[in-house]
Amino acid sequence: MKINWGTGIVIAFGLFMTFILYFVFEVQSNSKYDNDLVVEEYYKHDSHFQEEMSRIQNAHDLQQKPTIEYIAEGVKIVFPVKFETDKLKGNILLYRPSNKKFDFNTPITLTNSTLLIPKSKLIKGRWDVTMEWQYDGKKYLSKEVIFVN
C-alpha cells in the first residue's frame, strides 16, 4: 500500500493530537502535578486590596522597620526596640508557593523584640513571609521572600 503526502499529513496530525491529549490527561490525573489556586477565594481577597495597600504604606512609612532574615536556627524576625511588646499583636504567615500543605501561621510573641521560627518547621526552598501586625491601633502589613537552605 502506497501512502501519499495528504495521508501522511493526516496521520502526523492524528499522532500529534494523541501525544498532546496524553500529556493533558497525565497532568490532570496525577497528584504529582497539583495545580492549586494561589488564593482560594480570589474575588473576596481582591475586594480588600485598598485596605491592604494602606497597611503596606503604614509599614513602609516606619522609620525603623522590622527585619526578617534566615539564620542557622531558622527565620529570625526582629522588631524595633521602640515597640512595646505588650502593645504589639499580630500574625505571621509563612506561605510556600509550591505546595500549600506546608503553609502555616504563627502569632507574634516576642522575646527581647525578637521572634524565632525554628528551622524544623521549614523545608528548603522559597517562602513568602507576610507579617500582619497592629501597634497602638494602627495596622501594618509587610511582605518579604526568603530562601531556606
Q: Are residues 55 and 72 in the same domain?
A: yes
Write out pLDDT tens, residues 103-136.
889 998 888 888 888 988 888 888 899 999 998 8
The answer to whether 110 and 81 have CB atoms below 8 angstroms apart is: no
What domain range is 81 assigned to? 42-148
Same-domain pairing of 126 and 59: yes
More confident residue, 111 or 142: 142
17 lies in the same domain as 62: no
- Domain of 94: which CATH number? 2.60.40.3760
Q: Give per-residue pLDDT as tens, 22-52.
A: 999 888 887 776 656 556 666 776 777 888 8
Pair (10, 67) in one structural domain: no
Q: 51 with 18, same domain?
A: no
**Concatenated DSSP letters of 54-101:** HHHHHHHT-SS--EEEEETTEEEEE--TTS-TTTEEEEEEEE-TT-GG
Overall domain count for the chain:
2
